Amino acid sequence: MVRDLSVPELVDRARQRQPRAVARLISLVEDASPRLREVAEALTPHTGRARVIGLTGAPGVGKSTTTSALVSAYRAQGQRVGVLAVDPSSPFSGGALLGDRVRMGEHAGDQDVFIRSMATRGHLGGLAWATPQALRVLDAAGFDVVLVETVGVGQSEVDVIKLADCAVVLLAPGMGDGIQAAKAGILEIADVFAVNKADRDGADATVRELKHAISLGRREIRGPSWRQPVVKTIASVAEGIDDLVTGIAEHRAWAEDHGEFAARRLARARAEVESIAVREVRSRFGEMRSDVLDRLAEAVRSGALDPYRAADDLIASIVDR
């Protein structure tokens, strides 16, 4: 049973492309297992190769269909592809979400495709903490491309997607139009836009609106900036997917030439370290609230201590441990 394997054995097997070992390691991430320290240590020498592509957009816009079409496109290039569907609000995981997503079924049986949905089960630190850890697993397991698909489009998803090497934002006619995207802060994080459901009325209007919103946004930016392409797709029949792949590749080339690629990777590492540290502090804080915090609260209530001093004392007592 994979369950009984030691961490080094699991990592070895994941590197030998055994899907069950990969799945087990991601479960350890989801469960915030105490063994994760050891996992991270064992994975790190093997990481840094995978290209991470994030996809976000309102529910129903076609993210899952597009992801599946992208998997086929990258497989046709001979790349190994991992997919992480992240859902911050769902308590379900381990494939429950994707289980009924029949369209991913076309990749079942392909050893070079690994698809996994991941929920954070309400753990401290949430998605910001868990996603980079799961990415490390897929990266070390030798996947060339990792597609991170969000289920919704809230702030925590945006935080995750902007850490990808390339952030793809999907819109569809009559759904999330350009103005709505601007409001949600999506325009800033997108490296590539896809207007999906281009077979529907209003696709050209959505493209026009979006291009207008992009040009307004660009005026505020100084220096050389990437011109976010707007690609029309009909994901359900894989139309326009090659253009999307091209847009992603062009962004990659631009990002490498302009230092953006390295900057993004550094930002990801920063976010990773920070979220682990914050999580650690919070959990230590949780363990000690009953004693130290009660005593400090009493001192504040009685007027013996001001709340800022009390907070300093509390932090010091956590850090000293």
- The angle formed by the CA atoms of residues 306, 309 and 315, to the nearest 5 degrees, is 140
30 or 157: CB nearest ligand GDP: 157
| Residue 116, number of CB atoms within 10 A of its CB | 23
Rounded Cα distance, 195 and 173, in Å: 7
66 or 228: CB nearest ligand GDP: 66
- Convert 255-289 to b/e letters by CB count within 10 Å (16 or more is b): beeeebbeebeeebeebbeebbeebeeeeebeeee
Closest approach, Cβ 181 to ligand GDP, in A, equals 14
200 or 258: CB nearest ligand GDP: 200
- Convert 151-175 to b/e letters by CB count within 10 Å (16 or more is b): bbbeebbbbbbbbbbbbbbbbbbeb
Closest approach, Cβ 40 to ligand GDP, in A, equals 30
Closest approach, Cβ 200 to ligand GDP, in A, equals 6
Q: Which long-range contacts (CB under 8 A, 24 or more apart) does 74-77 make?
A: 74/144, 74/145, 74/245, 75/107, 75/110, 75/112, 75/113
Rounded Cα distance, 75 and 82, in Å: 11
DSSP lists the bridge partners of residue 87 as 119
Give the chain's radius of gyration (CA, Å).
Answer: 22
27 or 66: CB nearest ligand GDP: 66
Distance of CA 151 to the CA centre of its chain: 11
Closest approach, Cβ 183 to ligand GDP, in A, equals 19
200 or 265: CB nearest ligand GDP: 200
Decide: 55 and 145 in contact? Cβ < 8 Å.
no
Closest approach, Cβ 62 to ligand GDP, in A, equals 3
40 or 238: CB nearest ligand GDP: 238
141 or 194: CB nearest ligand GDP: 194
| Residue 43, number of CB atoms within 10 A of its CB | 23
Site residues (vs ligand GDP, CB under 6 A):
57, 59-65, 196-197, 199-200, 234-236
134 or 151: CB nearest ligand GDP: 151
Give, to the nearest 10 degrees, the angle between helix 260-288 and helix 307-320. Answer: 100
Closest approach, Cβ 202 to ligand GDP, in A, equals 12
Closest approach, Cβ 104 to ligand GDP, in A, equals 10
Closest approach, Cβ 198 to ligand GDP, in A, equals 6
